[in-house]
Amino acid sequence: MPGDFPGTRAKTDLDSASDRSRHNNNAITLCSQGESMSQHSDDDLFAFDQEDPGEPSHAAHASWRILIVDDDRDVHQATCLALAKTEILGRPLQFLHAYSAQQALQLLDNEAQIAVILLDVVMESEQAGLQLVKRIREELHNSEVRIILRTGQPGYAPEMDAIRDYDINDYKTKSELTRNRLYTVLTAAIRSYEQIHTINANRRGLAMVIKASSQLLALQGVSEFAAGIITQICGLFGLPPEGVVCACEQADQPGRALVVAAAGRLTECINQPLASLPDNRVAAALAQALEQRGNLYQAHATTLFFASQDGQDMAAYLQTQRPLSLLDRQLLEVFCSNIVITLDNVLLLSRLKDHAYYDPLLHIGNRLALIQALDRALAGPQREQASLVLLDIDGFSELNDTLGHQLGDALLAAAAERLQQQLPREALLARVAGDVFGILLDNRLIDTPHLQALFQQPLQFAGLQQHITATIGLTCLDQIDGSGSDALKAANIALKHGKQQQRGSINHFTRAMEQATHARVRLLQELREAFEQQQLFLVYQPQVRLQDGLLVGVEALLRWRKSDGQWVAPDQFIPLAESSGLIVSLGAWVLQRACSDLQRLQAATRQPLRMAVNVSVSQFRQAGFLATLDQALQHSGIAPERLELEITESVAMLDAEFMVELINHIKQRGVRIAIDDFGTGFSSLSYLQQLQVDRLKIDLSFIRQLEHNEGSRRIVESIVQLGHSLQLQLLAEGIEQASQARRLVSMGCQEGQGYWFARPMPLDDLLQLVEQRANGSLQLPQEIAL
């Protein structure tokens, strides 16, 4: 019959064995030299056979798996008996059995690492064997297994091109396959399989190493990277994560290693010193690998070493249970080499992340870190129960100028330390801006009196004591509809409101504040457009000699009327211009225009007049202010002594050295200086002398109460006496009644301005008024007004 085994006539031992063997007709069976072999995983990079742990190497004792596919059951038994207790290349044989092509496909689909198939050509059909070969190669994509065709009828032998096309390794008639010949054929096939399998295993292993390395490259933090190493190595080994630990040498503390990642029962040791590991063997192996700077292969564990260029070396301990094969070690060396490069990149990214998210001066999170934390809180359950607090140190800029930047930094460090000590441990602290701290904490932990008392005690730093206060803006996250940036904006709105209303206070964000802020933003945009479209203009308020009402000068005042005819008050848009920096370019235009208009005004009267122009602190601090002043004087052609720059008392009290030097430069040009709104601040008399000012302008708030409030009257008298003592000219603002003018004259005030004399007016109206008053007197109230 077609399935006969021809060798039974030549070998009586095979023949007798065939007579004795009987099998279940449909069973797929397995037989080996001793115990049946457990099922292997398919082509894992590190697949450990189930040898005795005490044996030296699993490779010396694994079996070659041979699949016999034949519909004659006697052939199966005869082949097993013929090769009983036979070893090839130092390893025993293990036989698997299939009695049809379909059974063979099923077995091949479920079993791994089958080295050789002894395949009958003719089974269910004349081409069953060849069709099975085609399906093995094309459907199962199994190119490693070596296939030896056997047939009992030479007439069914395949053509040469079939052997080539179907990747058949050998073809023999069953009459040729004596025991010796079968051993020879199997040895050649197994040697070929071993070479192909090793090459493919290396290729697959390298591919897995490359994939694992690329996945690790995407991890940025050191701890995240170390955890990724655990994940990848466990995947390569097919190990559970239990007993896997990564330790990292600390660059700032040589010789001290920290557990940066761990799995299973050892996770509680993360961020603890290596010596704190409860398993001394693990700690010793990691310490040895870090000290020797190399991999450590032991009987039941492997410790991998990853070198770093900046001293933050890393080691990973793995409970492998068995020694690794040479191939496993070689691939691990490649893996470690790739990881070393990746580790340096991760450490670099970690340092960049530190720079991006942490404040190097105060060693706390920065604005980006706070926004990131806010984004997480807004996306989770914390949204309903967390708040953001912004804390701004009052007057820090002035303190910084007074103390110097080095001591200013020390003050900030002391403030940060105070906050870390006094705030709940659960609170997140970050530096949002120069002297602004952000605090994210649970609503239940907010203690308003405690927040207000944070800086009740003076700060201690650099041998100094400094009392400070802080203004606080606060918003609950459940009020925020957007992102962390939106929460920061809301808290900042509350903070700004507190700065404007009452420093040292706590201010809760409201929608009304937000609407007011949006209104200011819109107004600022309109102001910029109005300036660009020349909708802003100047008006002039006369200044007179109180004794006889003689016109002696004018003050330039900026006005804004929108295209729809609506007026915007100066106290609305001037602060916006100052806070936005627009005041610099706006002030330069005012100075230039006022000087040019004075030239026209001076041509209309024989009386010498002066032009008073307000100058803001932003203008003074601009590096090019003196050049702007020179340009205005040169283009207008007016005499420098005809120009008077007005600065507020608060501006005058800025950095003494800076202001004295700047005003000296201005005085050298012949330009005069007046202190505006005098009496509302706290001036130093000696400082006023150093500044070499020419005039004090008494604030209108005192003039309005001059006749009704004894305190105001005494303040005015004191200012007049001060002016006389310092030999300064005096001018009172806001005179609206003749009685006020008379009382000021009696006190000794020389000049004044106010509605009693004239309201602010455009240049053309002022020119007309000057022409009408030939004698230059403006004693009577005028009807010309804006």
- The ranges of the chain annotated as CATH 3.30.450.40 are 218-358
Taking the C-alpha atoms of residue 613 and residue 266, their distance in angstroms, rounded to an integer, is 75
Q: Which two tokens stand for residue 206?
A: 């390298």
Reading the block at residue 20, the tokens are 């004795």
The residues pairing with 365 across neighbouring beta strands, listed in sequence order, are 358, 430
Which CATH number describes the domain made up of 523-772?
Answer: 3.20.20.450
Rounded to whole angstroms, what are the CA distances from 410 to 158, 397, 457, 459, 461?
92, 14, 16, 10, 6
Q: What residues does 508 pair with on adjacent strands?
A: 474
Q: Are 543 and 730 in contact (CB under 8 A)?
A: no
Are 746 and 527 contacting, i.e. CB atoms less than 8 angstroms apart?
no
DSSP 380: S
CA 51 to chain centre: 51
Contact 115, 193 (CB under 8 A): yes
State the Cα–Cα distance between residues 264 and 270, nearest whole angstrom: 11
Under 8 Å between Cβ of 584 and 622: yes
Of the candidates 272, 219, 218, the residue with the CA atom closest to the CA atom of residue 245: 272
Query: What is the H or E stretch that residue 583 is in?
Result: helix 582-603
Number of H helices, E strands in the chain: 26, 30
SS3 assignment, position 149? strand
* Residue 268 burial (10 A CB sphere; 0-12, 13-18, 19+): exposed
pLDDT at 526: 92
pLDDT at 730: 95
Nearest to 328 by CA among 239, 251, 458: 239
Q: How far apart are CA 379 and CA 389, in angstroms?
A: 19
Q: What are the backbone angles phi and psi of residue 374, rounded to the nearest 5°?
A: -65, -40
Strand, coil or helix: 313:
coil
Return averaged pLDDT per consecutive 10 residues of the chain, 786 residues in all: 32 33 37 38 33 35 85 88 88 92 88 88 80 86 86 59 68 74 87 77 54 48 63 66 64 69 72 81 88 85 78 78 71 68 62 76 92 91 88 90 88 94 91 94 87 90 91 92 92 90 88 84 91 93 92 95 90 89 93 95 87 92 92 94 89 77 93 86 68 90 90 92 92 94 94 94 90 60 36
CATH number for the region 6-202 comes to 3.40.50.2300
| Of 179, 109, 177, 92, nearest in space to 145 by CA | 109
Say which amino acid occupies 526: E
Contact 444, 384 (CB under 8 A): no
- According to CATH, the superfamily of the domain at 362-509 is Reverse transcriptase/Diguanylate cyclase domain (3.30.70.270)
Write the DSSP string, 665-699.
Answer: HHHHTT-EEEEEEETSS---HHHHHHHT--EEEE-
Residue 58's pLDDT is 37
pLDDT on residue 302: 83
pLDDT at 232: 67
DSSP-H helix ranges across 21-150: 73-82, 101-110, 128-138
What pLDDT shows up at residue 586?
95
| H or E element at residue 643 | strand 643-648
Residue 350: predicted pLDDT: 64
pLDDT of amino acid 718: 92
Phi-psi region of 329 (alpha: psi -120 to 50; beta: other; left: phi over 0): alpha
pLDDT value at position 249? Answer: 65
Helix, strand, coil shares, percent, the chain, to 5: 50, 20, 35
Contact 412, 515 (CB under 8 A): no
Quote the pLDDT of residue 678.
Answer: 83
CA distance 76 to 82: 10
Distance, C-alpha 220 to centroid of its chain: 11
Tell the burial category of 480 from Cβ atoms under 10 Å away from its Cβ (0-12, 13-18, 19+).
buried
Q: Which DSSP string corresponds to 118-143?
A: EEES-SSSTTHHHHHHHHHHHTS---
- Measured CA distances, 350 to 347, 358, 424 (Å): 5, 11, 28
Q: How far apart are the C-alpha atoms of 85 and 183, rounded to whole Å?
A: 12
How long, in residues, is the chain? 786
**Tokens 């450490």 label which residue?**
347
Q: Among all chains, which residue has been given the structure tokens 């040697």? A: 191
- The whole-number pLDDT of residue 298 equals 84
Residue pair 57/323 in contact by the 8 Å Cβ criterion: yes
Return residue ranges of the chain for CATH 3.30.70.270.
Answer: 362-509
218-358, CATH topology level = Beta-Lactamase (3.30.450)
Q: Residues 325, 329, 334, 339: what is their CA dihedral angle, to the nearest 10 degrees?
A: 130
Whether 65 contacts 145, CB under 8 Å: no
CA gap 111, 730 in Å, rounded = 107
Task: Please state the φ and ψ torsions of residue 375, each to the nearest 5 degrees.
Answer: -60, -45
Any bridge partners for residue 210, and if so which?
none
pTM surpassing 0.75?
A: no
Q: How far apart are CA 696 and CA 124, in angstroms?
A: 120
d(CA 757, CA 738): 9
pLDDT of the residue at 786: 31
CATH 3.40.50.2300 location in the chain: 6-202
Written as one letter, the residue type at 409 is D
- The token duo for 654 is 């800025």
Alpha carbon 663 to chain centroid, angstroms:
46
pLDDT of residue 162: 59
For residue 324, what is the DSSP state?
Answer: P
The residues, any chain, with a CB within 8 Å of residue 193's CB and separated by 6 or more, are 115, 116, 144, 145, 146
For 106-139, give one letter per residue: b (16+ CB within 10 A) or e: ebbeebebbbbbbbbbbbeeebbbbebbebbbee
CA distance 331 to 324: 11
Phi, psi of 453 (to 5 degrees): -95, 5
Q: Which two tokens stand for residue 325?
A: 């094969």
